[in-house]
Amino acid sequence: GDSVTQMEGPVTLSEEAFLTINCTYTATGYPSLFWYVQYPGEGLQLLLKATKADDKGSNKGFEATYRKETTSFHLEKGSVQVSDSAVYFCALIGRTGGFKTIFGAGTRLFVKA
Amino acid sequence: DAGVTQSPTHLIKTRGQQVTLRCSPKSGHDTVSWYQQALGQGPQFIFQYYEEEERQRGNFPDRFSGHQFPNYSSELNVNALLLGDSALYLCASSLRGQLYEQYFGPGTRLTVT
């Protein structure tokens, strides 16, 4: 079945450092891909999405490019802030099996001032 | 505009008991999905309701059941609780034609002792 694998955390960075969180997927056909963020004590928020190959999703300085050749959707940000500390989830909705969202295990990010 | 609301916030139950969790979708949304998020894991899809019927189901036993009301609100019922059912239960709402745009509630933290 469809699955998402993302890098294990926690990831600890200093403020203004460059962020990359790796995400790869397995799916039949070409799924839609998402990054969600979960701040402490809150529900998940959609951060960005890409629905077809080579699309780039972007929001709040975060970016991710849908790479079908490498089945990847890595999250990047050029300069992180303390307020970016959260858990980040990579997810997909496949083309088969209905509109079930499949999530990765999450990567916790700590940003130090 | 109220977002997705869930009740209760926290709940403690004993093994073998039954529990009902409630969700009110974001205004204008007609589709509700439920997820189980175990500690340190990504959310796992339980099922999805639209037009008061279960439309999609994840890999969860029949002890997990749900209902959607005419006002689009939804309930998740879990019978014969097990210790392993302890988790954060998330509700997400969306529009039937825009299932890629899910809005999540803050969740209900269920602890089974």
The string of pLDDT tens digits covering residues B10-25 is 999 999 999 999 999 9
Distance between CA atoms of A24 and A73, rounded to whole angstroms? Answer: 6
Q: Least CA distance to A99: which residue of chain B?
A: B99
The confidence score (pLDDT) of residue B8 equals 97
The confidence score (pLDDT) of residue B89 equals 97
Distance between CA atoms of B102 and B95, rounded to whole angstroms? Answer: 8
Distance between CA atoms of B13 and B17, rounded to whole angstroms? Answer: 7
Classified as helix, coil or strand, B31 is: strand
Contacts of A34 in chain B (CB under 8 A): 100
Contacts of A106 in chain B (CB under 8 A): 40-42
Looking at residue A67, the DSSP 8-state letter turns out to be: B
Helix (H) or strand (E) holding A76: strand A75-77
Pairs across A and B, CB distance < 8 A: 56
The confidence score (pLDDT) of residue B1 equals 63
The confidence score (pLDDT) of residue B23 equals 98
Among B6, B23, B24, B45, the residue to mutate for chain A (most A Cβ within 10 A): B45
Q: Does A46 touch chain B (CB under 8 A)?
A: yes
Distance between CA atoms of B14 and B4, rounded to whole angstroms? Answer: 27
The confidence score (pLDDT) of residue A72 equals 97
Q: What is the dihedral of CA A49, A58, A24, A9, to 10 degrees?
A: -110
More confident position, B99 or A14: A14
With beta carbons less than 8 A apart as the criterion, state whether A13 and A109 touch.
Answer: yes
Among A6, A95, A99, the residue to mutate for chain B (most B Cβ within 10 A): A99
Residue A94 binned pLDDT confidence (cut-offs 50, 70, 90): confident
pLDDT tens track for B20-42: 999 999 999 999 999 999 998 99
Instruction: Test A44 with B48 for CB contact under 8 angstroms.
Output: no
Contacts of A5 in chain B (CB under 8 A): none
Instruction: Test A102 with B45 for CB contact under 8 angstroms.
Output: yes
pLDDT tens track for A45-69: 999 999 999 999 999 999 999 999 9
With beta carbons less than 8 A apart as the criterion, state whether A2 and A93 touch.
Answer: no
Whether B100 has a pLDDT exceeding 80, the answer reads no
On the 0-12 / 13-18 / 19+ scale of CB atoms within 10 A, B59 is exposed
On the 0-12 / 13-18 / 19+ scale of CB atoms within 10 A, B67 is middle
Instruction: Test A43 with B90 for CB contact under 8 angstroms.
Output: yes
Whether A82 has a pLDDT exceeding 70, the answer reads yes
On the 0-12 / 13-18 / 19+ scale of CB atoms within 10 A, A83 is exposed
* Angstroms from A51 CA to nearest CA on chain B: 9
